[in-house]
Amino acid sequence: MEATVSQSLRLTTWTSSDYTVPTMRNSMRLHTIFEKKKRDNNNMLQCNHLATIKPTIGHRTTGLKASCTSQNSPASLLKSETFITEEDLLLKEKSEEIKPCLSGRCIYLVGMMGSGKTTIGQILSEVLDYSFFDSDKLIEQTAGGTPVSDIFKLHGEGYFRNKETEVLHKLSLMHQLVISTGGGAVIRPINWKYMHKGISVFIDVPLDALAQRITAIGTASRPLLHHGTGDAYTQTFRRLSKLWEERSEAYTNAHVRVSLECIAEKLGVGDVCSVNPTQIAIEALVQIEDYLKE
């Protein structure tokens, strides 16, 4: 059966509305697309010319719409339709450039609660072909599936911090991992000894953006933010501010800082909420590359 590939270019600019449009929800991730291409020999999706596109942060985003159909199949059997944006390509390109320089070293993402460590970590692990771990989830596993908030309630924060250190120790003996650490992992110097076996990346998000995100999700799984009555945003903002006062210096131990304010400035968007996870992952790779060159 002969296969037909139709491709069309879609142009967008980076605006605040773009966060909801192109890469995260409506597209398969690039890795998945390439894996699918490898598997499906009939659908010879030729993207060679894409190698010539050199996207840069701050420029217009070009997306490639790729539809793979079979000539003998009705339109309803359209096999796939997806958008590969310039950001996806840049992300892939950067990850391929950096991977050999990492020599298998792990990447530790640190940052306040809700800063996007899990979201960015999953993207980075995918493009680097690393495994992804969330240290909070590992602690829950070692506690027989008890949620972090219950571990705090049952055993107290000190017990949780000991488990966190144990988990980070174990992870530090491994390679090719992206690790999303707990927001408070930075407060113990011993944890830095373990995290510095790899490359540590601080995702720096302004507190008001964090408070907005966390208020939207709720604080049920975040014991240090549990609060009673009153306006949830204000309460969350206050608690985050207090934690930030205690921890801001500890975050500067990270090898690399990825600031959403700086990315927003580079992109020429006024608001950090317009910066999407792919753009943050690209910036993380750029900063890691700079660090490795030092």
Ligand X SMILES: Nc1ncnc2c1ncn2[C@@H]1O[C@H](COP(=O)(O)OP(=O)(O)OP(=O)(O)O)[C@@H](O)[C@H]1O
Catalog residues that contact ligand SKM under the rule CB under 6 A: 113, 136, 148, 182-184, 222-224
Q: Which helix (H) or strand (E) covers residue 35, if one does?
A: helix 30-39
Shortest distance, position 140 Cβ to ligand X, whole Å? 12
β-sheet bridge partners, residue 8: 65
Asked if residue 2 lies in contact with residue 71, where contact means CB atoms within 8 angstroms, the answer is yes
Shortest distance, position 37 Cβ to ligand X, whole Å? 28
As a whole number of angstroms, the distance between CA 69 and CA 54 comes to 28
Is residue 115 near ligand X by the rule CB under 6 A? yes
Nearer to ligand SKM, 88 or 164 (CB): 164
Shortest distance, position 200 Cβ to ligand SKM, whole Å? 16
Q: Which does 223 bind (CB under 5 to 8 A by kind): ligand X, ligand SKM, none?
A: ligand SKM
As a whole number of angstroms, the distance between CA 257 and CA 251 comes to 9
Which CA distances in Å does 229 have to 24, 29, 234?
A: 34, 40, 11
55, 116, 184, 198: which one binds ligand X (CB under 6 A):
116
As a whole number of angstroms, the distance between CA 192 and CA 168 comes to 9
Is residue 113 near ligand X by the rule CB under 6 A? yes
Is residue 119 near ligand X by the rule CB under 6 A? yes
Choose among 119, 227, 234, 221: nearest CA to 178. 119
As a whole number of angstroms, the distance between CA 35 and CA 80 comes to 13
Is residue 137 near ligand X by the rule CB under 6 A? no
Q: Which does 5 bind (CB under 5 to 8 A by kind): ligand X, ligand SKM, none?
A: none
Is residue 180 near ligand X by the rule CB under 6 A? yes
Is residue 183 near ligand X by the rule CB under 6 A? yes
Shortest distance, position 273 Cβ to ligand X, whole Å? 6
Shortest distance, position 229 Cβ to ligand X, whole Å? 23
Shortest distance, position 148 Cβ to ligand SKM, whole Å? 5
Is residue 22 near ligand X by the rule CB under 6 A? no
Asked if residue 177 lies in contact with residue 170, where contact means CB atoms within 8 angstroms, the answer is no
Is residue 184 near ligand X by the rule CB under 6 A? no
For residue 146 the two structure tokens come to 């008890």
Q: How far is CA 172 from the centre of its chain?
A: 20
Shortest distance, position 119 Cβ to ligand X, whole Å? 3
- Interacting span for ligand X (CB under 6 A) from 91-99, 111-119, 150-158, 241-249: 111-119
DSSP letter for each residue of 185-244: GGG-HHHHHHHTTSEEEEEE--HHHHHHHHHHH-STT-GGG---SS-HHHHHHHHHHHHH
Q: Which does 93 bind (CB under 5 to 8 A by kind): ligand SKM, ligand X, none?
A: none
As a whole number of angstroms, the distance between CA 215 and CA 217 comes to 6
Is residue 257 near ligand X by the rule CB under 6 A? no
Question: Which residues form the interface with ligand X (CB under 6 A)?
Answer: 111, 113-119, 180, 183, 213, 217, 222, 275-277, 280
